[in-house]
Amino acid sequence: MATVGLKCPECGSLDIVDDEHYSQPQLVCADCGAVVSEGLLTTTRSEETQGTDVRYSNSTEVDKKPCRNLINGIHRVRALCRILRLTFLMEETAETHFKQAYEHPNFIRVSLQKKEVLAGCCVLATCRQHSWPIAMGTICCLLEANPRLIGVVYQEMVKTLKIEAPPTSIINLLETHCQAYKLSPQHVHEELSESSKDLTKRAAVLLELAADAWLVTGRQPIPILTASIFLAWQSLKPTQTRLKYTLARFCQMAKVTKSSIAPKRVTELKEVLCKLGQELPWLRGDEVTPQTVIQMVDDILNHRLTLLRRALSSHEEALASESPDTGSVQQQGDHSQPSVPNSGKRSLFEPPSVRYAKIRRVQVPVVEVTGDEEISDSEIDSYIRTPQEIRDYVEAKEALASSDDEL
């Protein structure tokens, strides 16, 4: 029975059924076959989309198309891979990561900016997985995005996809970084040119020395790379021409961006070299200054282990001779720092953050409190305005508001 109460006009039967004549729905009497009523032959578009049982988007008629942002993102990933000249396998991996991350609930609703950055982060993760040395700064420049945002998105992505992406070690970054310096004979004057291979080799030794001397841990890698390459270049051929070059000029010549931090690293590295250079036996105790040390870098690096040993022993001797003196001074009472000095201070090299420790604010002595003490009324009253103060405050605010209105 299709509908209750419908009677066939021909035979009076109550047996009306729903029948369709091809696509046209009809109500037909089951006894005599008379058509009681019929529906429309065609449907409107709104009926098609809204009147069906199965949703249009779920039906097989609709081809599941990836959203536009996903397509753009994949293009971006591919473009980045091609700029960086990654292998085909790495490109595929990066794309897979991106698709997985994009469709994950953590990322499907983030801002467009983050989705753009996500592409770069996938490329970065892929490079790390395949031990391809690349700095986060590179991705930053390619995407022209905030490094902090990249950091945030990268860490979230790694956590979401649960991928193991070991960070690149700085020595691997060095070779990549070195190749960016345009110092071949076709780019610069012959006297200033240097082959990439020699430069890398010398810079690697300098970098290892810097790492031993705590100049690398915890700091941005790129300035220290720039500094080691600069000193390597100067020391490979320490002519007056090269020595006159400042770091800024060197970067300009090699067509590399200069950084404000690299000069500080150069100074620090020169200090380390001076400490070692001091131990060279043929100097016979002459002072080694940062200006004169460059000529000696060759010798210093060739014999650095011996020099380190000697420097350590002379440092220990110096400390041993110092300590009986300091012991007596301290008995007299001094206003030195209340904290015990870091044992790193007593060794030859210590991290700069230890050597130049910030002067701490005087610690307020912790008062022992139970948490359930009585709270005095006077103390609480001191935090509450008097009625006069409130009136003054309201008046002042009104005066300010009216003067603003006049303006």
Partner 1 sequence: MEQNNSLPPFQGLASPQGAMTPGMPIFSPMMPYGSGLTPQPVTNTNSLSLLEEQHRQQQQHSGQTPQLYHSQTVTTTTLPGNTPLYTTTPLTPMTPITPATPASESSGIVPQLQNIVSTVNLGCKLDLKTIALRARNAEYNPKRFAAVIMRIREPRTTALIFSSGKMVCTGAKSEEQSRLAARKYARVVQKLGFPAKFLDFKIQNMVGSCDVKFPIRLEGLVLTHQQFSSYEPELFPGLIYRMIKPRIVLLIFVSGKVVLTGAKVRGEIYEAFENIYPILKGFRKTT
For partner 1, give the closer residue by CB, 122 or 170: 170
Distance, CA of 373 to CA of 71 (rounded, Å): 64
For partner 1, give the closer residue by CB, 29 or 268: 268
3-state secondary structure 326-360: HHHHHHCCCCCCCCCCCHHHHCCCCCHHHHCCCCC
For partner 1, give the closer residue by CB, 36 or 312: 312
Interaction with partner 1 in 18-77: which residues (CB under 8 A)? 75-76
Confirm or reject binding of residue 115 to partner 1 (CB under 8 A).
Answer: no
Place of tokens 């299709």: 2
For partner 1, give the closer residue by CB, 55 or 391: 391
Identified binder of partner 1 from the candidate list 112, 255, 330, 399, rule CB under 8 A: 255
Do the Cβ atoms of 128 and 122 come closer than 8 Å?
A: no
What residues pair up with 20 in beta bridges, in sequence order?
25
Do the Cβ atoms of 118 and 80 come closer than 8 Å?
A: no
Identified binder of partner 1 from the candidate list 136, 266, 288, 296, rule CB under 8 A: 136
User: Residue 325 Cβ, how far from partner 1 at the closest point, in Å?
Assistant: 21
Distance, CA of 221 to CA of 173 (rounded, Å): 9
Identified binder of partner 1 from the candidate list 121, 170, 227, 274, rule CB under 8 A: 170
Identified binder of partner 1 from the candidate list 194, 259, 274, 296, rule CB under 8 A: 259
Residues in the chain: 407
Interaction with partner 1 in 333-372: which residues (CB under 8 A)? 339-340, 342-344, 346-347, 349-351, 353-354, 357, 364, 366-367, 369-372
Identified binder of partner 1 from the candidate list 3, 44, 313, 402, rule CB under 8 A: 313
Distance (Å) of CA 346 to CA 75, 327, 360: 55, 15, 20
For partner 1, give the closer residue by CB, 109 or 360: 360
- Please give the structure tokens belonging to residue 317: 């001797």
Confirm or reject binding of residue 253 to partner 1 (CB under 8 A).
Answer: no
The beta-strand segments (E) located in 101-190 are none
What residues pair up with 18 in beta bridges, in sequence order?
27
For partner 1, give the closer residue by CB, 28 or 219: 219
CB hemisphere CA count around 261 (13 angstroms):
10
For partner 1, give the closer residue by CB, 5 or 371: 371
Confirm or reject binding of residue 211 to partner 1 (CB under 8 A).
Answer: yes
Instruction: Identify which of 151, 159, 158, 153 has the alpha carbon closest to the alpha carbon of residue 128.
Output: 158
User: Residue 318 Cβ, how far from partner 1 at the closest point, in Å?
Assistant: 14
